[in-house]
């Protein structure tokens, strides 16, 4: 068994509320990210979600793979995501800390567990994972900035601009994020799991 570990660190002028919203907004995956062709929510509740993702990789973008992601919000600064990459289990640990007002530090730790012949994938993963991280970061950047800009204008989802000036100081991030019932990410649930509300 070989563990490939990759650490990425970033900083951004947004509050943690906005940063976490972006992590849990499943709807933007297939729209904003070149690497995600499909995102389908299979389950979600107050601190976790199971999402089916179809992924294409940088450089070898013709190669599409599907995988189930289990995401859990451990506490207000830590999130874990369990998935697999080319059949290898992977664990992603994301820490987001608002180190000063409206300024966040992001630490992303990726672990890939390789066994048997898959150990030969180690150099490929070491090469691709930072590229994947950088591309995703750049694609998420305008979303986070726009969301934060609108939050400062007192924008509330499904309501619009509020006249309540207190809203700026409120924590709006609450799982699961509100979506319309026929959201694209519920397509599988609505089509194939008609009784999903009884899970």
Binding site for Fe ion (CB under 5 A): 140
Please tell me the distance from the alpha carbon of residue 68 to that of residue 51, in angstroms, as a whole number. 6
Nearer to Fe ion, 23 or 78 (CB): 23
CB 94 → Fe ion: shortest distance, Å?
11
Joined tokens for residue 138 = 């750049």
CB 19 → Fe ion: shortest distance, Å?
11
CB 33 → Fe ion: shortest distance, Å?
6
Strands 155-156 and 78-85, sheet pairing: unpaired
* CA 3 to chain CA mean position, Å: 22
CB 46 → Fe ion: shortest distance, Å?
21
Nearer to Fe ion, 35 or 121 (CB): 35
Nearer to Fe ion, 122 or 130 (CB): 130
CB 116 → Fe ion: shortest distance, Å?
32
Show the 3-state SS of the chain.
Answer: CEEEEEEEEEEECCCHHHHHHHHHCHHHHHHHCCCEEEEEEEEECCCEEEEEEEEECCCCCCCEEEEEEEEEEEECCEEEEEEEECCEEEEEEEEEEEEECCEEEEEEEEEEEECHHHHHHHHHHHHHHHHHHHHHHHHHHHHHHHHHHHHHCCEECCCEECCCHHHHHCCCCCCCCCCCCCCHHHHHHHHHCCCHHHC
The CB-nearest residue to Fe ion is 140
Find out whether 181 and 41 touch, Cβ atoms under 8 Å: no
Nearer to Fe ion, 50 or 143 (CB): 143
CB 177 → Fe ion: shortest distance, Å?
13
Nearer to Fe ion, 44 or 140 (CB): 140
Nearer to Fe ion, 78 or 154 (CB): 78
């Amino acid at each position: 068994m070989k563990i490939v570990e990759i650490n990425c660190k970033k900083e951004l002028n947004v509050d943690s509320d906005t940063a976490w919203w972006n992590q849990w907004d499943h709807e933007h995956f297939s729209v904003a990210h070149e690497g995600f062709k499909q995102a389908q929510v299979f389950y979600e509740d107050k601190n976790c979600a199971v999402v089916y993702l179809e992924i294409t990789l940088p450089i070898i973008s013709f190669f599409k793979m599907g995988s189930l992601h289990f995401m859990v919000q451990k506490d207000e600064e830590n999130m874990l995501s369990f998935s697999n990459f080319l059949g290898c289990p992977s664990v992603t640990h994301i820490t987001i800390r608002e180190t000063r007002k409206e300024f966040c530090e992001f630490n992303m730790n990726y672990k890939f567990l390789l066994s048997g012949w898959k150990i030969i994938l180690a150099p490929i993963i070491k090469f691709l994972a930072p590229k994947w991280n950088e591309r995703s970061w750049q694609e998420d950047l305008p979303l986070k900035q726009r969301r934060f800009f609108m939050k400062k204008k007192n924008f509330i989802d499904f309501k619009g601009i509020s006249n309540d000036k207190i809203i700026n100081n409120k924590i709006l991030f609450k799982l699961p994020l509100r979506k319309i019932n026929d959201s694209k990410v519920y397509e599988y649930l609505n089509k194939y799991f008609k009784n999903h509300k009884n899970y």
